[in-house]
Amino acid sequence: MYISGKSKIEATFDAIVVGSGISGGWAAMELCKKGMKTLLLERGRDVKHIQDYPTANLKPWDFGLRLNFSEQEKQNNPKKTQYADAGSQSFFANDVDHPYLEEKPFNWIRGYQVGGRSLTWGRQCYRLSDLDFAANKKDGHGVDWPIRYRDIAPWYSYVENFIGVSGQNENLGHLPDGSFLPPMELNCIENHLNNSIKKHNGDRLLTIARVANLTKGWDGRGPCQNRNLCTRGCPYGGYFSSNSSTIPAAFQTGNLTLRPYSIVSEIIYDNKSGKASGVRVIDTLTMETFEYSAKVIFLNASTIATAGIMLNSKSSRFPDGFGNDSGELGHNLMDHHSSAGAQGTHSSFQDSYYKGRRPCGFLIPRFRNLVPDTNAAFLRGYNIQGDGERYGWQEMGRNAGFGADFKKQLTRPGEWSVWMAGWGECLPYHDNRVSLDNDKKDKWGLPLIKIDFEFKENEKKMMADIQHTSQQMLADAGFNNIDSFNYKTVGGGTVHEMGTARMGEDPKTSVLNGNNQIHAVKNVFITDGSCMTSSACQNPSLTYMALTARACNYAVEELKKNNL
Amino acid sequence: MNRRTSLKYLLGAGLSGSAIVAVYKFTGWESPDIEYLAGKQPTIAELAEMIIPRTDTPGAKDARVDQFIIRMITEGSDKKTQRNFIKGLKQLEQYALNYYENEFINCSYKSRYQILSYYEKSSGYSSAILNKISNRLLGKPFFIKLKELTVEGYCTSEVGAMQGLAFDYVPGDYLACTPLQLNQKSWATK
């Protein structure tokens, strides 16, 4: 059932899920499948699978400025236009209506619609391992994760089996194998680089990316058509999103009520029961306020927004924000860095090409600090992601000359090239944080979120190492014109925000327990990126989904036992 | 890396404040002469055709690259780029008048070829770093911008993508390593 505007609905549900992105969609589906009458709240508009992907089948020449933005659009939306193009822009929140404050430069890239950023995500799916879950404990940064790999492993499988992940098992302890569909294929230059890396660095390998793009039909979706236009929404259902998968599955149970245009302004605390009674919602179209109540609340508004909602939920019990006994709420914000890497060209394989636009690249799994090394220049590690392709007009257009010869070069395959960069772990720093500025309000009267984040010495040293190792691996493989780079992208640039309501054993130093429950309010669960105790270096969405499924299972078990 | 950084510093020191002021004075802050641009559409079409001529496949004119360029300068560029482009176009016309006694559009093919050769040679420094810094301060030189837009306009147009290049609308499979075909064109989209 859909509700919007003034239509009357029951104000009481078994469960409320705040946010319909990658983790909220999972929460809604799991709770609905377990028989819970569930209200799914989304601040943005509805986006129905296929029918609301207006640009999905457009060709480059169907757009006015091709895939470019107008100058006015760029000026109005300086953040959005860095990350979207004319084809995907309707799935990125505009900067005008959704301002935030930057203590230091930070790109907060949001997807305010049903499905959230699951429509535009990078689709990379990597498991964390005990190297990651034990990292904080080992080197003393942040607090220890309250879980280990064995706690989440079955849930990784559960999620992979549902969403469909293509990938190659590699039998690595620190990057566990999964339940994969057939892998996508490496091309000539990538195979060459892989062979060279294995030869020169016995401890490293290169593998095809593990992605939620379907190499065969799965759950009534796909297969992927290799168009590489994923971020416009896929009319083939070739990749996983809330819209294509979890939300339809939730609807199928008959237990889901979806309410778009609904900003949750706060969680309501009930002193008598010591639980959350429900949420307060602002209808973004009518500005009316509604209250909905439920036995269980799942917060999945995304790392920064979830922290914002909790900080704005003040009561006599929680004067500093909901569940914030530890004072850690909003702190320990992390994002992966992905600025440093190297690129180069290769003169071999001139007689080989490829057909199709594979929607992913390759991965060189983490190889630094796999065993404790007191001499290491930095803590933790990074993986390297990249792809190989032949130069096209985008690069050949920079050639000298004009006329028929220039045109011939422009329209023929150029040299092979590889671009690759390190996706690096970011330590949890207490002073990287989000807070609210109560003097500045958005158009719905909610205080603006202020973000204070920077990468520090450990990340910078890691970036230097990434530049060095990437360059070396390309040189060893015979690449030419090697350029090692550091784009120095500001925080938020990888769009992997995490950590603002971290999990931990101790209520004095963490917000959530090992089941993603708020320590002091057991009927509120947070399973988006804010729960992350450390960032590891793996793309995090798979972990959010697995933690969500696990927490939903736990929540329903606890409800049955009358513990919530 | 270090070499690059030190080069930047050298340049920063070399460009004194007065030089920058002089440059801005010269460029001016007046509104870009968009009307002039619109009137020059046939000239832009000829310039683009010189860069990507019709051969056994369609050329820039067939792809209506002139329309794309004018739209990109008018709607898709900041004021600095607009001013630079329009100023550069006016200078090119002046150059054609001075040396070939004709507006560009009335020049012979040979004269046009010589004019473009002159611009190709004189656009930008030989050093990539110098170009980067110059572009940031002054905007991209006219001819560089013209060539960029011509390439993009052509390669993202229907005839450019489908006939000049190879356009694979719905590939279906991904074939990772295929033998290069005779006269293989490159893929229009990535």
Tens-digit pLDDT profile for residues B62-103: 999 999 999 999 999 999 999 999 999 999 999 999 999 999
Question: Who among B156, B164, B186 is closest to A66 (CB)?
Answer: B156
Asked if residue B25 has pLDDT above 60, the reply is no
Only one residue has tokens 């772990």, namely A425
Same domain, A227 and A279: no
Which of A67, A407, A463, A467 to probe by mutation at the B interface, max B CB count within 10 Å?
A407
Interval A455-464 mean pLDDT = 98
Average pLDDT over residues A312-331: 98
What pLDDT does residue A373 have? 78
Residue in chain B lying closest to A388 (CA) = B176
Mean pLDDT of chain A: 97
Q: What is the Cα–Cα distance from A238 to B174, expressed in whole angstroms?
A: 13
Question: Could you report the per-residue pLDDT of B97-145, keeping only the tens digit for each?
Answer: 999 999 999 999 999 999 999 999 988 666 677 777 777 777 788 999 9
Determine whether the interchain pair A392/B55 forms a contact, defined as Cβ–Cβ distance below 8 Å: no
Is A411's CB within 8 Å of B189's CB?
Answer: no
Task: Select the residue of B120, B147, B170 nearest A225 (Cβ to Cβ).
Answer: B170
| A65 contacts B76? CB cut-off 8 A | yes
Do A35 and A138 belong together in one domain? yes
Name every chain A residue with its beta carbon within 8 A of the beta carbon of B168. 355-357
Hey, how many other C-beta atoms are within 10 angstroms of the C-beta on A342? 26
Q: Cα–Cα–Cα angle for A267, A268, A269, nearest 5°?
A: 115
Contact A407 B55 (CB under 8 A): yes
Across the interface, do B176 and A354 touch by the CB < 8 Å criterion?
Answer: yes
If asked whether residues A386 and A508 sit together in one domain, one would say no
Q: What is the pTM of this model?
A: 0.94
**Which chain B residues are Cβ-neighbours of A70 within 8 angstroms?**
75-76
The predicted pLDDT at position A239 comes to 98
Question: Which pLDDT score is estimated for A547?
Answer: 98
pLDDT at A257: 97
Q: Is residue A227 part of a domain?
A: yes
Query: Could you give the CA distance from residue A33 to residue A178 in angstroms, rounded to a whole number?
Result: 24
A405 within domain boundaries: yes
Determine phi and psi for B118, rounding to 5 degrees: -60, -45
Torsion of Cα atoms, A365 then A367 then A369 then A372, to 10°: 100
- Interatomic CA distance for residues B190 and A52, integer angstroms: 24
- Residue of chain A whose alpha carbon sits nearest to that of B81: A71
Say if residue A481 is in the same domain as residue A381: yes
Structure confidence at residue B16 (pLDDT): 37
Q: Grade residue A515 by pLDDT with cuts at 50, 70 and 90.
A: very high
Structural domain contains residue A557 = yes
Q: Are A228 and B190 within 8 A, CB to CB?
A: yes
Q: Chain A: nearest CA to B107, how far in angstroms? A: 17
Residue B17 pLDDT > 60? no
d(CA B62, CA A103) in angstroms, rounded, equals 51
Model pLDDT for residues A232-258, shown as the tens digit of each residue? 999 999 999 999 999 999 999 999 999
Q: What distance in Å separates residue A7's CA from the closest CA in chain B?
A: 42
Q: How many CB pairs under 8 A join A and B?
A: 151
Quick one: what percent of chain A has pLDDT higher than 70?
A: 99
Among chain A residues, the shortest Cα distance to B153 is held by: A66
Instruction: Tell whether A159 and A172 lie within a shared domain.
Output: no
Contact B168 A355 (CB under 8 A): yes
The pLDDT, as a whole number, for residue B9 is: 36
Retrieve residue A425's tokens: 């772990």
Neighbouring CB atoms inside 10 A of A392's CB total: 21
Residues A435-450: what's their mean pLDDT? 97
Residues of B in contact with A184 (CB under 8 A): 174
Give the model confidence (pLDDT) of A158-183 as tens digits.
Answer: 999 999 999 999 999 999 999 999 99
Q: Span A259-284, mean pLDDT?
A: 97
User: pLDDT tens across A85-144, in order?
Assistant: 999 999 999 999 999 999 999 999 999 999 999 999 999 999 999 999 999 999 999 999
The contacts of residue B152 (CB under 8 Å, 6+ apart) are A66, A397, B68
* Contacts with A71 from chain B: Cβ below 8 Å: 75-78
Contact residues, chain B, for A406 at CB < 8 Å: 51-52
Q: Which of A24, A219, A174, A191 is nearest to A112 (CA)?
A: A24
Q: Are residues A255 and A180 in the same domain?
A: no
Question: Under a CB-based contact definition with an 8 Å cutoff, are residues A506 and A143 in contact?
Answer: yes
Residues of B in contact with A350 (CB under 8 A): 180
Report how many domains make up chain A.
3
A280: domain CATH number? 3.50.50.60
Q: Which pLDDT band, with edges at 50, 70 and 90, does A5 fall under?
A: low
Same domain, A267 and A293: yes
pLDDT bin (cut points 50, 70, 90) of residue B15 is: very low
Instruction: State whether B187 and A228 contact (CB < 8 Å).
Output: no
Q: What domain range is A31 assigned to? A: 7-47+113-163+241-334+430-437+497-564
Coil, helix or strand for A353? strand
Does residue A72 sit within a domain? yes
Secondary structure (DSSP) of A93-160: --TTTS--EESS-B------BTTGGGGT---B-----HHHHTHHHHH-SS---S--HHHHHHHHHHHH
Least CA distance to B147: which residue of chain A?
A: A397
A99 lies in a domain? no
**One domain, residues A323 and A209:** no
Query: What residues does each domain of chain B span?
Result: 30-125+140-164
Q: Quick one: pLDDT at residue B29? A: 59
Is A356 in the same domain as A413?
yes
Give the chain A residue whose CA is nearest to the CA of B128: A398
Give a yes or no: residue A380 inside a domain.
Answer: yes
Residues of chain B found within 8 Å of residue A404, distances taken between Cβ atoms? 53, 55
Using an 8 Å CB-CB cutoff, list chain A residues near B76: 65, 68-71
Distance from CA of B36 to the nearest CA of A (A): 20
- Cross-strand pairs, A352: B179
Burial of B104 (0-12, 13-18, 19+ CB in 10 A): buried
Q: Which chain A residue lies closest to B69 (C-alpha atoms)?
A: A65
Check CB contact under 8 Å for B176 and A412.
Answer: no
Give backbone dihedrals phi and psi of A13, rounded to 5 degrees, phi first.
-130, 170
Least confident among A8-12, A304-308, A355-359, A487-491? A8-12
Tens of pLDDT, residues A366-377: 999 999 777 889
Q: Are residues A344 and A468 both part of a single domain?
A: yes
Q: Confidence band (pLDDT; 50, 70, 90) for B22?
A: very low
- Residues A375 and A226 occupy one common structural domain: yes
Of A184, A390, A401, the CB nearest to B186: A390
Residue A497 CA to its chain's centroid (Å): 8
Kindly list the residues from chain A whose CB atom is less than 8 angstroms away from the CB atom of residue B185: 411-412
Whether residues A184 and B174 touch (CB distance < 8 A) is answered with: yes
- Comparing CB atoms, the residue among A70, A187, A225 nearest residue B177 is A187
Residue B31 confidence (pLDDT): 82
Smallest CA–CA distance, residue A176 to chain B, in Å, is 26
Smallest Cβ–Cβ distance between A410 and the set B76, B151, B177 belongs to B151
Q: Is the pLDDT of residue A10 over 60?
A: yes
pLDDT of residue A9: 64
Percent of chain B scoring above 70 in pLDDT: 82
B108: its two tokens: 């012979």
Question: Cβ B155–A484 below 8 Å, yes or no?
Answer: no
CB contact under 8 A, A72 and B75: yes
Strands A12-18, A517-518: parallel, antiparallel or unpaired by DSSP? unpaired
pLDDT surpasses 90 at A46: yes
Q: Do the chains contact at B180 and A350, CB–CB below 8 Å?
A: yes
- Residues in B closer than 8 angstroms to A484, CB to CB, are 1
Model confidence band, residue B1 (pLDDT cutoffs 50, 70, 90): very low
Give me the pLDDT at residue B6, please. Answer: 36
Task: Let me know if residue A443 belongs to a domain.
Answer: no
Chain B residue with Cα closest to A355? B175
Instruction: Say yes or no to pLDDT of A346 above 80.
Output: yes
Higher pLDDT, A8 or A541: A541
| Statement to judge: residues A42 and A129 lie in one domain | yes
The C-alpha atoms of residue A514 and residue A547 are separated, in whole angstroms, by 10
How many angstroms away from the CA of B166 is the closest CA of chain A? 9
Q: Which of B51, B180, B185 sits opposite A406 (nearest CB)?
A: B51
Please answer yes or no on whether A402 and B51 come within 8 Å at the CB atom.
yes
pLDDT of residue B133: 73
Please report, rounded to a whole number, the percentage of residues in chain A having pLDDT higher than 90: 97
The whole-number average pLDDT for the span B51-61 is 98
In a domain, A281, yes or no: yes
Distance from CA of A125 to the nearest CA of B (A): 20
Query: What CA–CA distances, in Å, run from B1 to A472, B17, B129, B141?
Result: 15, 26, 12, 26
SS3 content of chain B, % helix, strand, coil (to 5): 65, 5, 30
DSSP class per residue in A216-272: S-BTTB----S---GGG--TT--B--IIIIIHHHHHHTT-EEEE-SEEEEEEEEETT
Tell me which residue in A64, A187, A352 faces B179 most closely, judged by beta carbons. A352
